[in-house]
Structure 1
Amino acid sequence: MLIRNTLFTLCSVALVAVSPAIAQSLKVGDKAPAISVDTWAKGEPVTEFSSDNYYIVEFWATWCGPCIAGMPHVSELQEQYKDEGLVVIGVNIWDDPRKVKPFMQNGSGATRGKSGGDLMQYRVAVDKVIDKNDPKHGAMAIEWMKAAGRNSIPSAFVVDYDGRIAWMGHPMQMDGIVQNLASQYATRVGSKQVTDHIARNAELDEKAAPIIEKTNEAIKAKQWTRALAGANGILKIDEQYFGEWAAKKVAILAQKSPGSRDTLVYAKQLVTSTYKDNAPVLTDVAEALLTYEPKNENARAIVTIAISQAVLKASKSDARVLAASAMAKHVDGKAEEAIDMLTEAINVLEATPPSDGADVADIKAYETLKNSWRKRLDDYKRVDIDNSEK
């Protein structure tokens, strides 16, 4: 389910390494080292880890393009889980401390006109430098990064309610553990017992699997009435968890009855109500309408709403938003803009492949999406060449 729920926001280089691999003494399960910083560039200082919260400690530098590209996603996590115990701390390391304040105020060439403060909607601190002639020797760079054997940034550590390292790795791969800790928050603060999200999701997947298989068979055979019944059955199990099937239902309705008012009424309900805060579903609905109702003006109005909402919930640089926007440009005959946008979407996607331990289903979904976008890009270029020769 990772591909469906994760927003991809890294640029074409996923990590920046600064030294060879080093020995690891800090491991998952160990007590987290102290927060040792010189200054706080943004937000309320954190002096120690509280049992009422869990934390992301993310290491970055002003010169690190992949760090900058990943900042919107980290900000999204802080916003999503701010009321469920999450505290994000961005720690500047391996850098000239004097560059942090200008970066926070004005940004850099890599921030595309935004300041670092705009990109980082969470607490930001500057490492406590021990040797001013070598910023790599900052306290947290040594006690966290070096101790964990990590030699590249961006790197993130998730600290649980007990102050222990629950996870470490690339910031774009931490959504699962953050969601898991968020699910424990209500219990921790005593408000209510929450469902174990991982177990529940597995139960939902198992329950829906036979229906999904039969529905996909019906779609392949273009048996739209049967496919529609299947999509309804899947959504009845859990419409939020299986949100992608709401967008597929739009595609099914459009193919079952081209130009039907029912398709547009349902699609509008999705983007203005049911999934108005779900960027992946919003972009999927937009693509379904652009694919099967490209000339319908009412459908295009819904597409505009969907993409606008997706930008608000994700960002203009989100891969899925870029891909949907590219499709809209292509339908409008703006070939060059469509090609540029989809190329950028593919670059963003390729910069964040599934982790080594990802499920087979996640890897397959990632490859399918990437290959479909590459094929679409080839089609856009072919149309552009054909038009230029006329």
Structure 2
Amino acid sequence: MFLDGIPEVWLQGDPVKKWEKDKVYIFEFWATWCGPCLAAMPHMEHLHQVLKENPNLQIIGVNVMDRKSPENLKEFLKNRPTPLTYTMAVDVDGKRTKAKWLDPLEVNGIPHVFAIKNGKLIWRGHPLKLSEEMLTAMLKPDFSVASLPVETADARDKENKIFLQTRQMVNQLVQKNGRQGAAPLLKQIQESNQFSQDRLIYLKTIPFNVLLQQGKYDEAQLVLNDLTEEYSDNYRVQINVAGSLLQADTMPSDKLDAALVERCLRRCIEISKKGNKEASLPWRMMAELREKQGKRKEALEYMEKAITLSSLGKAWAKLQEQTGDKETLQSLLDRATEGIRPQPPRKMQEIEAVQEDSFYTPLLKKQTWFSHPGLAGLPAGKTVFIDFWRAFSKDGKLVGDIPANTLDIVLKKYGLLDHPNVKVLVLSVRPLNKEQVKECLERPGMWSPYPVGVPSDDSVMDLFNSLKLQYFPSSAAIRDGVVVWAGEIKRMPSWVADLAARDTLDKDKLTEELAKRQAYDQELEGVYKKSFELRKQKKYEDYIKLLEENAERFSDNPSFSSTVAEMRAGQAVKEKDYRKAVDILDKMLSRFPQEDALASYMLKVYRSSDEMQENSYDASRRALQIMRDANTRGDGGYNAACYQVMMEMAMEKKDYVQAKEDALKAFHELPLVHQYAAMKKKQKEA
């Protein structure tokens, strides 16, 4: 590994200038847009903390394939929820690390890690595959690659099987003899280094969950107290313990060890301060604790602190600094909370007459129904959406998505929520424990206005598979016994919504229309198949010709239209006509304003180079607005993030009036602000 691949720009830590004898260098390649990279960073930080005293090891994060400036990257790292203290560098133009190391070794995807010793590459792979055991082996003077543990599929399966068996043993020991019953086994497991630290910590939390179910609240909290003392400098352990206690809905409020929760959160605050990256989350949880204690004034103060420390709060502070604006956070929050009202309670969906048939009647009769006495058929004369619900047992509780939550968001987007011509049924794809289902649906936020059916066999899963569904959340739209559409809910096309809203429907015409759509889909699939073959054969001129010949024919298909648009935009970029490239993509997006995933992808294209970025300010803002408007996550944080990116783009343009408007919209969407508004309302009522 030649030294000319080492980055020149360093963000934190000691720069690497030469290969020191017998020293191991771990280079972790990441980017801000790479979710798996960000997810792996706490693991790398853990390895750094465990081995940072060893002078023969250095862990270096290298930002690659990114377009952020070193200054923006420093700010990005500063705002990470988990403080990162290992060395950080950036491959600014891609001409060093990417060109000299990654490209020759055909590293096309990140995150990725190189381990280098004495100038030689001794290991490469995913950062989560890197363990303390492997690093310790690499540091030995007599190290050889052959000495590294080799992970195979069989080895992983064996380890998972042993882990599940161990989990069951710990559970049984606690059931019989309390927390002390499992203590010898847990000590033995820790001393054997059999499992990773994350798995060990998970095993150590099992006694808490078991004892909580048994109503032994004091003993359960002693388990977590011991855990926090053992891992006193571990941010994740402290924050998870505090969260487990605050969210333990089966624990009476007068039994909660508030002092333990506060101690964990104070430690989190101190840990984050040490890295000069004070985090927002501990302050938000501190506010929740104070609210539980009835200390509403303090709760509001802590929530304001959490908002200030959020990434949006920091962006607002930066905007104030640039503009000299003196508006206080309190004034901003007062404006942002205007119009925030709690959603009115949903009413239980009414089911009128049903229509019995030979398929759905037997299927529905196999269900145990919740929120409804039972159904012998689908509602007659309506478009019925079946929401396929997935839930599973975890630590003695049933966990899963809110029934029909994503479907509700999509129906609302199309103006069909609680529409008289639309009915919804929720069916679990697998048989479940009925008592657990009842308890699950009675939890706060899990209530559903729709009938929820749990089957006695695999009949619902058989239906799911027969509809060729592969992902969750998915749904099927059925009208008069005919499956009109089935697929991922967030990708439901607008024509399904148009059909669902109709008062009457000619069954023969519907069948004819669906046959035409099926033929259309088959033709499109044929064109796709041919295009893949041409690309595989590297017949790019024939590939482009095929796309152009079919561009008009499939112009109403978002996926095909985006492929054509990307091809045309790519040609424009080759000609260095960046304005034309942006216009092509922007026009395509304007035709499909429901496609948030497409808008997200196009935003990355717009921001992929300095030249594209210069020409795509307005188009990028429109893409972000589409992402916000078409959001099916039901997550105000996502919406706030869209507006925050708009705000930061406006700041780059020095369009401060627009930036302030975007900031206000972002705060109005931010869940923290909604939580703050609810707290303030309770204080006022009190």
Is the 1:43–1:122 contact (alpha carbons within 8 Å) kept by the matching residues of 2? Answer: yes
Task: Tell me how far 1:166 sits from its aligned partner.
Answer: 0.7
**C-alpha distance in structure 2 between counterparts of 1:318 and 1:204, whole Å:** 37
Flag the 1:52–1:283 CA change in 2: closer, same or farther, 3 A: same
Corresponding residue pairs, total: 302
SS in 2 for 1:238: helix
Q: How does 1:64-103 map to 2 (within 5 A)?
A: 64=33, 66=35, 69=38, 73=42, 74-84=44-54, 85-94=56-65, 99-100=69-70, 102-103=71-72
Pair 189,149 (structure 1): closer, same or farther in 2 beyond 3 Å = closer
AA at the equivalent of 1:79? Q
Secondary structure of the residue that 2:59 maps to in structure 1?
A: strand
Which of these residues, 445, 469, 480, is aligned with residue 381 of structure 1? 445
Deviation at 1:295, TM superposition (A): 0.9
Give ranges in structure 1 of 5+ residues lacking alignment.
1-30, 130-134, 345-365
Amino acid at match of 2:136: S
- Deviation of 1:123 after TM superposition, in Å, equals 3.4
Paired with 1:77 and 1:279, the residues of 2 have a C-alpha distance of 14
Partner in structure 1 of residue 133 of structure 2: 180
Partner SS for 1:147: coil
1:213-265 CA distance string (max 9 Å, x none):
3454688xxxx3356565334323235763333322233334445354x4444
Counterpart of 1:295, as a letter, is: S
User: In terms of mean alpha carbon deviation, does 43-52 or 141-150 score higher?
Assistant: 43-52
2:463: which partner in 1? none
Question: How far apart, in 1, do the equivalents of 2:105 and 2:287 lie?
Answer: 41
Structure 1 vs Structure 2: percent identity of aligned residues? 17
Q: Does 1:251 align with 2:209?
A: yes
Q: What residue is the counterpart of 1:235 in the other structure?
A: 186
Residue 143 of structure 1: how far off its partner (Å) = 1.8
Match for residue 102 of structure 2? 145
* Amino acid in structure 1 at the alignment position of 2:49: E
Matched, 1:303 2:261: yes
Alignment check: 8 A CA contact 1:271 1:305 kept: no
CA contact (8 A) 2:170 2:185 kept: no
Aligned-partner residue type, residue 179 of structure 1: E
Post-superposition Cα deviations, 1:73-128, rounded to whole Å, max 9, x if no partner, equal: 3445433331244313343444679x32x336xx45x56xx379x9663434454x
With the length of structure 2 as denominator, give the TM-score of the two structures. Answer: 0.34
- Distance of 2:89 and 2:186 partners within structure 1: 44
Question: 1:326-352, CA deviations, whole angstroms, 9 ceiling, x for partnerless residues?
Answer: 996996799xx9xx99xx9xxxxxxxx
Amino acid in the other structure paired with 1:87? Q
Q: Structure 1 residue 179: deviation in Å?
A: 2.0
**Distance (whole Å) between structure 1 residues aligned to residue 90 and residue 21 of structure 2:** 24
SS at match of 2:62: strand
Instruction: Measure how far apart 1:167 and its partner are.
Output: 1.5
Aligned mates of 1:204, 1:76 — CA distance in 2: 22
Change (3 A) 1:298 1:331: closer
* Residues 57, 139 of structure 2: 8 Å contact kept: no
* Aligned position for 2:27: 57
Cα deviation, 1:187-230, whole Å, max 9, x if unaligned, reads 4499xxxx9899xx9999888765543454688xxxx3356565
**Contact residue 254 and residue 293 of structure 1 kept, 8 A:** yes
Instruction: Answer yes or no: is the 8 Å Cα contact 1:208–1:237 preserved in 2.
Output: no
SS of equivalent residue, structure 1 residue 245 = helix
Counterpart residue identity of residue 83, structure 1: E
Distance in 1 (alpha carbons) for counterparts of 2:446 and 2:65: 45
Partner Cα separation in structure 1 for residue 139 and residue 103 of structure 2 = 34
Cα deviation for residue 294 of structure 1 reads: 4.4
Which residue number corresponds to residue 232 of structure 2?
Answer: 276
Query: Which of 57, 73, 85 is the aligned partner of 1:121?
Result: 85
Q: Distance in 2 between matches of 1:54 and 1:141?
A: 20
What is the distance in 2 between the residues matched to 1:158 and 1:378? Answer: 49
Q: Which amino acid in structure 1 is aligned with residue 168 of structure 2?
A: E
- Rate the CA distance shift 1:243–1:87 in 2: closer, same or farther, 3 A: same
> Which runs of no fewer than 5 residues in structure 2 stay unpaired?
192-196, 297-302, 311-391, 403-439, 448-674, 676-680, 682-686
Query: Partner of 1:15 in structure 2?
Result: none
User: Kindly tell me: are residues 327 and 202 of structure 1, through their superposed partners in 2, closer, same or farther at Cα, counting changes over 3 Å?
Assistant: farther
CA distance in 2 between partners of 1:177 and 1:68 (Å):
14
- Name the counterpart of 1:161: 117
Give the conservation status (yes or no) of the 8 Å contact 2:29–2:62: yes
**1:18-54 CA-partner distances (Å, limit 9, x unpaired):** xxxxxxxxxxxxx577434444454333123334332
| Offset of residue 144 of structure 1 | 1.8
- Map 1:353-364 → 2, pairs under 5 A: none
User: Is the Cα–Cα contact under 8 Å of residues 6 and 96 in structure 2 kept in the other structure?
Assistant: yes
Paired amino acid for 1:381: G
Q: Take 1:381 and 1:316, find their aligned partners in 2: how far apart are those partners?
A: 30
Question: Is the contact made by 1:231 and 1:246 (CA closer than 8 Å) also made in structure 2?
Answer: no
Q: Would the aligned equivalents of 1:225 and 1:256 in 2 still touch at CA under 8 Å?
A: no
Q: Do 2:167 and 2:203's aligned partners in 1 also have CA atoms closer than 8 Å?
A: no
Tell whether the 8 Å contact from 1:215 to 1:226 is kept in structure 2 after alignment. Answer: no
Q: Equivalent of 2:14, from 44, 58, 62?
A: 44
Distance in 1 separating the partners of 2:241 and 2:83: 27
Shift of 1:302: 0.9
Q: 2: distance between equivalents of 1:330 and 1:301?
A: 14
Using the size of structure 1 for normalisation, the TM-score is 0.54
Give me the whole-angstrom Cα distance separating, in 2, the residues matched to 1:208 and 1:71: 22
Q: 1:281 to 1:179 in 2, by over 3 A?
A: same
1:296 deviates by: 3.1
**RCO comparison, higher one (Cα < 8 Å, 6+):** 1
How many angstroms does 1:177 deviate by? 1.7
CA offset at residue 382 of structure 1? Answer: 4.7
Give the superposed CA RMSD: 5.7
Amino acid in structure 2 at the alignment position of 1:309: R
1:243 partner letter = I
CA distance, structure 1, for counterparts of residue 446 and residue 47 of structure 2: 39
Q: CA distance change for structure 1 residues 225 and 156 in 2, over 3 Å: closer, same or farther?
A: same
